[in-house]
Chain A
């Protein structure tokens, strides 16, 4: 079974631009979560989607948004990019039917904001 895939793998943007990252979960998984990894803050939860509905959201500004499609694929959008948004953005999927399931991660998208 194919793992979680994320595109693109690398991105360079400038301040003020916006960016959209994509995630395809493991086949059969309906929950997709997004995390931001930075050297200072570690891995921080952004949001989680199940059946096109956001079930949980982390403490990030409204510039960070996401959505999920009917095929469980998910996108994350960051508007008005800031230098501090430079990070590794990780997507994880799970079956989603019950809480506390193991989440499986994709390789991440490395975003650099100049």
Chain B
């Protein structure tokens, strides 16, 4: 049972435009969400996170939106740059459910390609 889903395996955008990466989750106990970026042969790099008490969090070019009722979050990158080309993983954790607090559940990732 895949509790975190990234339904788009890949996304291609032009440099300077907006990239929107989507993520859906099914476990209503999830209350902390993160986005990681991963290059081949490297570990994931933390990008941005959001707690379930918020619906938006911004950090520079990156903004994460959370829609709890729809169990959906998205990562917006504006403007997109060629160096943003990587696999993006959405991850979630359940902070208050005891026993599962300390693990992240990941989606399968979306490959973003930003074309010059």
Contact = CB atoms under 8 A, between A and B. Distances in A.
Interface of A: 4, 6, 31, 33, 35, 42-45, 48, 50, 55-56, 58, 90, 92, 96, 98-100, 102-108, 110
A48 B103 contact: yes
User: Mostly helix, strand, loop or mixed at chain B's interface?
Assistant: loop
A96 B20 CA distance: 31
A99 B93 contact: yes
B46 A104 contact: yes
10 contacts: A33-B104, A42-B89, A45-B103, A55-B102, A58-B103, A99-B102, A103-B104, A107-B42, A108-B43, A110-B41
B102 A102 contact: no
A33 B102 contact: yes
Interface of B: 31-32, 34, 36, 41-46, 49, 51, 89, 91, 93-96, 99-109
B43 A106 contact: yes
User: Mostly helix, strand, loop or mixed at chain A's interface?
Assistant: strand
